A = this chain, B = another copy of it.
């Protein structure tokens, strides 16, 4: 029976603001040398591009027809109309796979049959759609005029040779992959995946037996999965008991094999404080902040161990979720030089009044729904309850309330971050 264990709780008196903590984080993080590997573009979906990839050629490679029809010299058909068609001589048919150098140039009064994608013959500068023509033997009647370059895909109009197709740091989505292939890249340099190690602390987790399965660690799997969704390689560092020495050596040991560590605090008193203490004991380490004026997620901290960031998150799943969103995600993107995959923001009207203490930034889980009058309604799930996973599984958004704010009125319009798509 002891009040000693409560000392740690009291040490939270010196809390930092969220923005101040984020600033500290960005000032201290150093980009690791992630290493680059070359892979087939066809395997590159959801990798991060390690270089600016340039187009190997003009794409299209030459002026191409954008429709099925007749390649013409636009001046030839200037006066064409339904009542006064121009007659042109069909001198060739150009297939899509025709070799440019084998195509005869057009002279005035001549035309060529082209298909969508066919290279245009030299001298031609427009295409008349087949619907506006009538073939008669080896001549064609053209019933309308076409301005220069009508129905033509100009050489290089998609990508000019040497222009950037995909920038360094971009997450490769299906259209990037297709654009890379279409501009001559068969292989691509991508960054090695960022390795995020996740360590649970808590004797109650370590020694949870089959007789006493009352304490289930859902926070580590949550953070491992969130790292996965951020296209990192999650590394399960296991569970350690509430012992400073053991936590210290585990973090030190793990730090050489990963790019960042996330610890989840277990649920013991002072468990996250133990991590802070453990980290402090390690050489070449420093605690940047510990304890943040946010809710949930007050016991959140960041240290550097051997140059690697160690995010100390709460053992409570929703508090850990918030800590991951606020600190780990931006850090991940900084470390690998990628653009953040931010959640979409939606404007919605509060279904009820929402108050919170001043001096703490709140991340309220909410449910956004389509409103009967059009627009969207937002129903707060719960202001407190950092252990309540149902606020995430039943909700779909985060409403962020700034530190200085006292609350919102019913009906007020607010911005919500959607972590799940809207239903319906």
Q: Which residues of A contact B (CB under 8 A)?
A: 1-3, 5-6, 9-10, 41-42, 45, 60-61, 66, 68, 90, 92-93, 95-97, 99-100, 113, 115-117, 119, 130-131, 135, 138, 153, 157-159, 165-166, 173-179, 181-182, 184, 202-204, 207-208, 212, 214-219, 221-223, 225-226, 228-229, 267-269, 316-317, 321, 339-342, 344-347, 384-385, 387-390, 392-393, 418, 420-423
Cα distance A322–B153 in the bound complex, in angstroms: 19
- Best-buried of A178, A390, A420 by chain B (most CB within 10 Å): A178
Contacts of A178 in B (CB 8 A): 218-219, 221-222, 225, 317, 389, 392
Q: Are A97 and B179 in contact (CB under 8 A)?
A: no
Cα distance A345–B368 in the bound complex, in angstroms: 13
Show 28 residue pairs from A and B whose CB-CB distance is below 8 angstroms, ordered by the A residue: A1-B93, A1-B138, A9-B68, A66-B387, A95-B204, A96-B204, A96-B268, A99-B212, A116-B316, A117-B204, A158-B388, A158-B390, A173-B229, A173-B420, A174-B223, A174-B321, A175-B389, A175-B393, A178-B221, A179-B390, A181-B216, A181-B218, A182-B317, A182-B389, A184-B216, A339-B421, A339-B423, A344-B344
Q: Are A1 and B393 in contact (CB under 8 A)?
A: no
Contact A218 B182, CB 8 Å, known A117-B267, A175-B321, A208-B97: yes
Cα distance A388–B175 in the bound complex, in angstroms: 10
Q: Are B177 and A1 in contact (CB under 8 A)?
A: no
Q: Are B226 and A174 in contact (CB under 8 A)?
A: yes
From B138, B179, B184, B384, give the contact of A389 (CB < 8 A).
B179
Q: Are A385 and B95 in contact (CB under 8 A)?
A: no
Cα distance A174–B181 in the bound complex, in angstroms: 33
Cα distance A116–B342 in the bound complex, in angstroms: 32
Q: Are B267 and A214 in contact (CB under 8 A)?
A: no
Cα distance A341–B384 in the bound complex, in angstroms: 29
Cα distance A270–B115 in the bound complex, in angstroms: 10
Cα distance A10–B174 in the bound complex, in angstroms: 32
Cα distance A346–B345 in the bound complex, in angstroms: 8
Cα distance A42–B358 in the bound complex, in angstroms: 39
Contacts of A97 in B (CB 8 A): 203-204, 207-208, 212, 214-215
Cα distance A222–B117 in the bound complex, in angstroms: 19
From A393, which residue of chain B is reached at the shortest CB distance?
B179
Nearest chain B CB to A190 CB, angstrom units: 15
Contact A117 B215, CB 8 Å, known A45-B228, A177-B225, A221-B177: yes
Contacts of A212 in B (CB 8 A): 97, 99
Cα distance A131–B173 in the bound complex, in angstroms: 51
Contact A344 B418, CB 8 Å, known A99-B212, A387-B60, A387-B153: yes
Contacts of A1 in B (CB 8 A): 90, 92-93, 113, 138
Q: Are B159 and A390 in contact (CB under 8 A)?
A: yes
Nearest chain B CB to A11 CB, angstrom units: 12
Q: Are A153 and B385 in contact (CB under 8 A)?
A: yes
Q: Are A269 and B207 in contact (CB under 8 A)?
A: no
Q: Are A216 and B182 in contact (CB under 8 A)?
A: yes
From A341, which residue of chain B is reached at the shortest CB distance?
B421
